Amino acid sequence: MQIFKYLFQWKKMRRQWDKRADAPIMPEDRLSAMQNPLKLISNYSTTKILYGKHAARVQLCWILLSYVMIAYLVVLTLTLFMYYLMFRIALGFITSSSNGGTSSSSSDNEPDFQQAYDVYGNSVNIHRTSTGEMMDDNGNTYSKSGNGMRRDCDGSTFY
Q: What is the pLDDT of residue 62?
A: 85
Q: For residue 99, tell me if it sits in a domain.
A: no
Please write the tens of the pLDDT for every residue from 22-52: 655 555 566 666 666 555 455 666 677 677 7
| pLDDT band at 102; cut points 50, 70, 90 | very low
**Whats the size of the chain, residue-wise?**
159
Q: For residue 24, tell me if it sits in a domain.
A: yes
Q: Which of 148, 94, 155, 100 has the alpha carbon at shortest distance from 126?
A: 148
Number of domains observed in the structure of the chain: 2
Domain coverage including residue 42: 2-91
Residue 125's alpha-carbon distances to 133, 134, 150, 158, in angstroms, are: 14, 10, 13, 10
Name, of 1-15, 35-49, 110-124, the range with top average pLDDT.
Answer: 110-124
Please write the tens of the pLDDT for every residue from 80-99: 999 998 887 877 665 554 44
pTM assigned to the model? 0.35
113, amino acid identity: F
Pairwise CA distance, residues 108 & 34, whole Å: 70
Pairwise CA distance, residues 14 & 95, whole Å: 58
Q: For residue 101, tell me if it sits in a domain.
A: no
